[in-house]
Amino acid sequence: MAIDNEDAVGLFDKALYAIGKDFHGLKIAELGNQFVKGWGAGRTSAKRLFVLTGAEHISFDINGRDGANKVDLGEPIENPEWYEHFDIVTNYGTSEH
C-alpha cells in the first residue's frame, strides 16, 4: 500500500517544525512497511525517505521486506531494547488490517 500524496510526509514535517525538532537523530518506529511520496524523492519506502533525512528508522512488518523487522503486529513486540526508545511511531496503513 502507498500513500500517493505528500500530505502525510508534509504533515510530519510541519509537526516537527512546530515543536522545534528536525529529522536528524530522530528515532522513528514505523508500524508496517509502507511506500510514500515526499520531498521530491518520488515513490519510495518510508524507511529510505526517513533515513535520507538523518533519522534512525526501524520498521516492523510481517513481510520483512525493505529492512523491516519481521514482526506480527497482532502480537506484542517483546523486545525490551525498544521500550521507550522511539521519539515517534508512525502507522501509514496497517490499521485497516
User: Is the pTM of the predicted complex or chain greater than 0.75?
Assistant: no
Could you give the dihedral angle defined by the CA atoms of residues 8, 10, 16 and 17, in that order, rounded to the nearest 10 degrees?
Answer: -160
- The neighbour count for residue 94, using CB atoms within 10 Å, is 18
The H or E element that residue 8 is part of is helix 7-18
Please give the pLDDT value at position 60.
92
pLDDT block averages, 10 residues each, the chain of length 97:
54 75 84 75 77 87 90 89 88 67
Predicted confidence at residue 69, as pLDDT, reads 92
